[in-house]
Structure 1
Amino acid sequence: MRKNIVVLIARQFMMQVFKSSVFYALLLIVIAMLMFAAYSGWHSYTVQNEIRTHYQQEARKSWESNPDKHPHRMAHYGTFAFRLKHALSMFDFGMESYTGNAVFLEAHKQNSVNFSEASFSTGLLRFGEISVAMVLQVVIPLIVFFLGFSSVAAERQMGTLKVILIQGASWKELLVGKSTGLMMITTLFYIPAVVVIFFLLLFEGSMESDIMLRYGAIFLFYFIFYVIVSVVTIVISTLSRSSKDALITSLGIWLVFVVLLPRTAQAVGSYFYPAPAKVTFESAIEEDVIRQGDSHDPNDPHFKAIKDSLLHAHGVDSVQHLPFNYSGFIMREGERLSAVTYQRHLKELLGIYERQNDVGKIIAVLNPYMAIRNLSMAFSGSDLFAYQHFQQQAESYRYELAQTMNELQMKYIGNEKEKKGEKPHAIGKEHWMAFPDFKYKFQPFIHIAGTQVWSIASLVLWCVVVFFVVVKVSKTVKVIQNV
């Protein structure tokens, strides 16, 4: 394959596209959509993070402003954890609008994450949001098909294809040259997104190494995706008898890959692995916790057995003689049991979601659109894994808070009950201030990459497939297609 011939064919294709006024109209429309989407994403990111940061600070002030009181009362007083948006979520909204962003943290109870943006929005949100990622995933591939569907088929119809081949160009050089030209045209639609997101990150001061690794990975994967789309477009045009056939085939592939397969994957996953309703999930946890024992009930068999073993181990006949606060010890054990129960049920639920997602992962191997969508959301911090990561951090913080309050009770509160007229047992407010505030930490780059092995493998597989398809087609295709 001669490089100069490939470059010549690519340049000729680009010049032909540049002569069309439709190209410039499409380019302006896409750039306008990208600018609007980028502004919308940036505005949502800044406003939402300002709101969430403000209320996280208010929750902390409320926690620290509590006077001296019993630590168990503080455990039930609780606090809030707010999930901040990742800087790259202004590029890809993902599931951000539909997942909750705040959770109330208290002893003995794992509350659900609430207050999604969708719950405060109109029904128009159901029709979707325009994000930069949506334009790159849905609109630009459609434009690539439109610009490239007639690249070879039209020349076959006009008879110029035979002339090109007679002049010495091989089929492989023609296919690679046309694909290269189409890919170069595609970059004109794609580069504005790369640039505008970079400057938004720079403007927000979000240039940490982990964010830049995510940023680089996202646009590298999009580049690979567009290479695949460009080659597929040229191959379709090469194998089609006419431009009309090529256009119909291209649109059909776009509909199947972008609309039908993603919805089918979701429906199939939910059908074969149905998730329990929220009330069913919470009821199952509550039933198991009650079955294990009630730490607030002094006559509960499970905790009465613990009491007897403690008295025996310390050689005393009453909890008043124990060297630590008995109620605090029991509350600590009750918290441990309820947390273990919750984690077991949550693991089962997440297992169902994982099996549902496995269906999508398998289909993503066959569908590069689903692969790039998954990768885009994951590295933008707006997918299901990011949401679950927040849930896990919030639960770990809640458990640590509750157990810290129980340990303070064991250490500083006596076993004797207050007498009539005495002040209730309490410890100093400095203990509330000493407990650290909730700080949400995003997943590291390497962890995200580990969750997206299937999607990465899909793009790699498609690159290999289109390479062999080009080789195969260049050997078997004819100037005049009979079928």
Structure 2
Amino acid sequence: MSVILSVARNALRHLLRSRIALTGVVLVALLTLAAAVTSRAYQADQAGLRDRLQHAADQDFAAQPNRHPHRVVHFGHFAIRPASGLAAMDPGVEAYTGNMIFLEGHRQNSANFGDARQSSLLVRFGQLSPALVLQAIAPLLLVFIGAGMVAGERERGTLRQSLLAGVSGGTLLGGKALALGVAGLIISAPAFGLLLWLGVNGGARASAVALSALGYVAYLAFWTLLIVAVSAMVQRSRTALIALVGAWAFSVVLVPRLAPEVATGLTPLPTRVETDIAVQRDLRAMGDSHNPNDPYFAAFKQKMLKQYGVSRVEDLPVNYRGLLAIEGEKLTSSLFDRYADQAFGAMAAQGRVMDALAVVSPTIAIRRLSMTLAETDLSAYRRFLEQAETYRYDLVQRLNRLQATAVTAEDDAAKSKSAAAEARSRISADHWRSMPHFTPDRPSVGEVTGRALPSLIVLLLWLAAGAFLAARAGRRLNRSAA
């Protein structure tokens, strides 16, 4: 162990004497710090803004005057997605999916107001976040400062001297990897500091912080081992640099860029226009509640008359228009849910294709792990939409039941012709002031961990592959010295 530490100290001294390497480490470390500070400030501002917007939406909904319940259905409400505790580390897909949904009757809207749609074009290329720096920039810097660690010694003639002096190839590579790992730790220290701070003060779960840190350590350790192994297996520093830059470009740039295209080609997703057309077609096929001869609603009418033991709609103890609204919302919501499930099913299939490509790119694995633990991935977005839809459906049906029970059928039918009937059809505003607020719950620790574990396992397998390659390079050095 002392020999490994000695080799590591010598390698670190060489890095410190190299102005290019030292400048690169300092600059990227400062970039990581800037990303951590700005991302944390931005997410804190977003969290406060979302809380204020949800509070304002709740106040606006409760401030409505006395009115007909169906007017309140169309007045609508807003559901705003709460900020995630680890979004400052990895904002994930939040900039593109949006974070606010307008809730109204007869419709199931998607989220709006994503940052990429509102901000400058630069946001579309990805926000500067600690995750982006660690996933893409840090490995590239390690490649540039570590490509010549062993190959450079071979070119200078000092490698053979070290091996003949009794230093084994494995010990030599272990020391080099330790020195390069220290450089990687310096680069990533601000990001890990942010993780710790979020775990203590930012509302992030300790399990998510620990697993995220473990994932990034494994990811950077893989690159460290790969770099020293390649440097030991080639004859020249320039060859090592070209090979490692090619590996970085393939793993960090090419495969993650092509993965969505491959997934889309294998599992195409219908466009919004196609889905809207299909929904409207199915809505027409469901039936028309305004047509007394419509088969479905004619049968529904007979069902209600039998249920209440009367022979005419006028004899019902409740407002039949309210019953129609309840049934109509039930039908349309089930249709919207079916199309939403189909869309998310296709997205999940695309996600599985992309996850499978993690076998050729560890960057895909660390991205999935990071977003999952930060609760900024597609699954978290789907959870928000489903909870918002559950709240919307419950809110609309509460209002429809008020139309059925609190507004008489006579006043409801005559409100467009009689001012007195219209005034009587307005019910007390206390009804919407007592409506429940939108309070989404987070996924459980077990659920998040379960979705993150496959990506973590893939990363550990990549780390094992890097260790195997480094060990093989060490044995090759031993044979070359014999």
**TM score, norm. by length of structure 2:** 0.92
Amino acid in the other structure paired with 1:330: L
Aligned pair 1:347/2:338, yes or no? no
Query: In 2, Cα distance between the equivalents of 1:433 and 1:417?
Result: 23
Residue among 230, 234, 252 paired with 2:228:
234
Alpha-carbon offset, residue 197 of structure 1? 4.7
* Residue matched to 2:408: 414
* Residue matched to 2:275: 281
Question: Against the structure 1 CA distance between its residues 387 and 127, is the aligned structure 2 distance closer, same or farther, given a 3 Å change threshold?
Answer: same
Report if aligned partners of 1:366, 1:458 keep a CA contact under 8 Å in 2: no
Query: In 2, Cα distance between the equivalents of 1:478 and 1:245?
Result: 21
Report if aligned partners of 1:319, 1:326 keep a CA contact under 8 Å in 2: yes
Amino acid in the other structure paired with 2:277: S
Query: In 2, Cα distance between the equivalents of 1:198 and 1:449?
Result: 18
* Residue matched to 1:372: 366
* Residue matched to 1:332: 326
Query: In 1, Cα distance between the equivalents of 2:366 and 2:301?
Result: 57
Report if aligned partners of 1:38, 1:197 keep a CA contact under 8 Å in 2: no
Amino acid in the other structure paired with 1:459: L
Residue among 29, 32, 42 paired with 1:31:
29
Question: Against the structure 1 CA distance between its residues 51 and 149, is the aligned structure 2 distance closer, same or farther, given a 3 Å change threshold?
Answer: same
Alpha-carbon offset, residue 298 of structure 1? 4.2
Query: In 1, Cα distance between the equivalents of 2:71 and 2:15?
Result: 72
Question: Against the structure 1 CA distance between its residues 467 and 122, is the aligned structure 2 distance closer, same or farther, given a 3 Å change threshold?
Answer: closer
SS of equivalent to 2:318: coil
Query: In 2, Cα distance between the equivalents of 1:170 and 1:480?
Result: 11
* Residue matched to 2:181: 183
Amino acid in the other structure paired with 1:435: M
SS of equivalent to 1:88: coil
Query: Structure 1, unaligned stretches of length 5 or more?
Result: none
Amino acid in the other structure paired with 2:332: S
SS of equivalent to 1:363: helix
Question: Against the structure 1 CA distance between its residues 431 and 98, is the aligned structure 2 distance closer, same or farther, given a 3 Å change threshold?
Answer: same
SS of equivalent to 1:114: coil
Deviation sequence 1:109-128 (CA, Å, 0-9, x none):
11121111122222233343
Residue among 180, 189, 192 paired with 2:190:
192
Query: In 1, Cα distance between the equivalents of 2:133 and 2:429?
Result: 52
Query: In 1, Cα distance between the equivalents of 2:292 and 2:376?
Result: 46
Question: Against the structure 1 CA distance between its residues 39 and 185, is the aligned structure 2 distance closer, same or farther, given a 3 Å change threshold?
Answer: closer
Alpha-carbon offset, residue 409 of structure 1? 2.8
SS of equivalent to 1:81: strand
Report if aligned partners of 1:365, 1:454 keep a CA contact under 8 Å in 2: no
Query: In 2, Cα distance between the equivalents of 1:313 and 1:377?
Result: 51
Query: In 2, Cα distance between the equivalents of 1:45 and 1:124?
Result: 18
Deviation sequence 1:56-112 (CA, Å, 0-9, x none):
222111111112222222222211111232232122222222221211101111112
Alpha-carbon offset, residue 353 of structure 1? 1.2
Aligned residues: 475
Query: In 1, Cα distance between the equivalents of 2:281 and 2:454?
Result: 38
Question: Against the structure 1 CA distance between its residues 297 and 34, is the aligned structure 2 distance closer, same or farther, given a 3 Å change threshold?
Answer: farther
Report if aligned partners of 1:132, 1:193 keep a CA contact under 8 Å in 2: yes
Query: In 2, Cα distance between the equivalents of 1:343 and 1:93?
Result: 27
Question: Against the structure 1 CA distance between its residues 96 and 315, is the aligned structure 2 distance closer, same or farther, given a 3 Å change threshold?
Answer: closer
Residue among 81, 85, 88 paired with 2:86:
88
Alpha-carbon offset, residue 251 of structure 1? 0.6
Residue among 46, 50, 56 paired with 1:52:
50
Give matches, 1:204-223, under 5 Å.
Answer: 205-206=201-202, 208=203, 210-223=204-217
SS of equivalent to 2:215: helix
SS of equivalent to 1:89: coil
Query: In 2, Cα distance between the equivalents of 1:298 and 1:236?
Result: 78
Alpha-carbon offset, residue 406 of structure 1? 2.0
Query: In 1, Cα distance between the equivalents of 2:318 and 2:79?
Result: 31
Query: In 2, Cα distance between the equivalents of 1:463 and 1:32?
Result: 27
Query: In 2, Cα distance between the equivalents of 1:165 and 1:175?
Result: 11
CA RMSD of aligned residues (A): 2.2
Q: Which has the larger displacement, 231-240 or 39-48? A: 39-48
Q: Which has the larger displacement, 117-126 or 416-425? A: 416-425
SS of equivalent to 2:95: coil
Query: In 1, Cα distance between the equivalents of 2:193 and 2:341?
Result: 41
Query: In 1, Cα distance between the equivalents of 2:19 and 2:175?
Result: 23
Alpha-carbon offset, residue 334 of structure 1? 1.5
Query: In 2, Cα distance between the equivalents of 1:359 and 1:480?
Result: 43
Query: In 1, Cα distance between the equivalents of 2:307 and 2:112?
Result: 45
* Residue matched to 1:396: 390
* Residue matched to 1:148: 146
SS of equivalent to 1:112: coil
Report if aligned partners of 1:362, 1:454 keep a CA contact under 8 Å in 2: no
Query: Structure 2, unaligned stretches of length 5 or more?
Result: none
Query: In 1, Cα distance between the equivalents of 2:319 and 2:474?
Result: 82
Report if aligned partners of 2:7, 2:172 keep a CA contact under 8 Å in 1: yes
**TM score, norm. by length of structure 1:** 0.92
Report if aligned partners of 2:29, 2:188 keep a CA contact under 8 Å in 1: no
* Residue matched to 2:239: 245
* Residue matched to 1:432: 432
Alpha-carbon offset, residue 296 of structure 1? 4.6
Identity of aligned pairs, percent? 33
Amino acid in the other structure paired with 2:159: L
Report if aligned partners of 1:241, 1:480 keep a CA contact under 8 Å in 2: no
Amino acid in the other structure paired with 2:436: P
Residue among 167, 178, 191 paired with 1:169:
167
Aligned pair 1:260/2:263, yes or no? no
Query: In 1, Cα distance between the equivalents of 2:7 and 2:241?
Result: 21
Query: In 2, Cα distance between the equivalents of 1:121 and 1:466?
Result: 40
* Residue matched to 2:265: 271
Residue among 306, 314, 324 paired with 1:312:
306
